[in-house]
Structure 1
Amino acid sequence: MTVDHYTYRVTWSPEDGEYVGLCAEFPSLSWLAHTPEAALQGIRRMVAESVADMRANGEEVPVALAEKHYSGEFRVRVPPEVHRALAIQAAEQGVSLNRLASAKLAA
């Protein structure tokens, strides 16, 4: 796996007055720059250096989100009144609670 497989994002930071480059797999890292391109280039370089340091020190390197296996299942806890309201909506629509929740999450 290369650092190109990680999930990068560039957004504007009003507080800093610059673009900030971020990497989802390394939430503690960021890079500020005057252009979005420079922010992306900076965060990619910083991640590459961090991964090289981690490997040199025998540390476990995060797996890219794009390369992880997802089962399609996760558990969500909601208050009983929300559970009831969703169950009623599902029944009224003639679908399972799972299908209703999935549709709401996808929207």
Structure 2
Amino acid sequence: MTWSAEDNEHVGLCVEFPSLSWLAPTPAEALAGIQRVVQECLEDMHKTGETPPMPLADRAYSGKFMVRVPPETHRALAMQAAEQGVSMNRLISARLAE
């Protein structure tokens, strides 16, 4: 759910179906609307033999990703990790978890 100032309504969205949305005056109505639209889309895909996208929650993740930061940020993080006696990975993981 998100708010659309342009439409002055709540917007229901589904990450797996970025072309679908539903506008409604309340978050609950927007959620119900997008759920209905996604269900109809899945039914159409089933009828035409299309494979629906895999839900994000069901995808496997490695736990690794690369982030580029300015050298000054890298230096500051390395110094903080050393001062705390932890690896940069542990320091950054803890910060992301916050």
Q: Please indicate the TM-score interval, normalised by the length of the shorter structure.
A: 0.7 to 0.9
Give 1:47 shift: 0.7
Matched, 1:65 2:56: yes
Query: For 2:38 and 2:65, how far apart are their aligned partners in 1?
Result: 29
Give 1:46 shift: 0.8
> In structure 2, what residue type is equivalent to 1:83?
H
Secondary structure of the residue aligned to 1:105 is: helix
Query: For 1:26 and 1:92, how far apart are their aligned partners in 2?
Result: 45
TM-score, length of structure 1 as denominator length: 0.79
Moved over 3 A (4+): none
TM-score, length of structure 2 as denominator length: 0.85
Residue of structure 1 in register with 2:68 after alignment: 77
Query: For 1:78 and 1:55, how far apart are their aligned partners in 2?
Result: 44
Matched, 1:93 2:84: yes
Within-5 A mapping of 1:37-76? 37-76=28-67
> How high is the sequence identity, in percent, across the aligned residues?
66
Equivalenced residues, count: 98
Q: Which runs of 5 or more residues in structure 1 are unaligned?
A: 1-9
RMSD: 1.6
Within-5 A mapping of 1:14-29? 14-29=5-20
Q: Which runs of 5 or more residues in structure 2 are unaligned?
A: none
Higher relative contact order, structure no. (Cα contacts within 8 Å, ≥ 6 residues apart) = 1
1:48-85 C-alpha deviation (Å, 9 max, x unpaired): 11122223333331111222222222222223332222
Matched, 1:12 2:3: yes
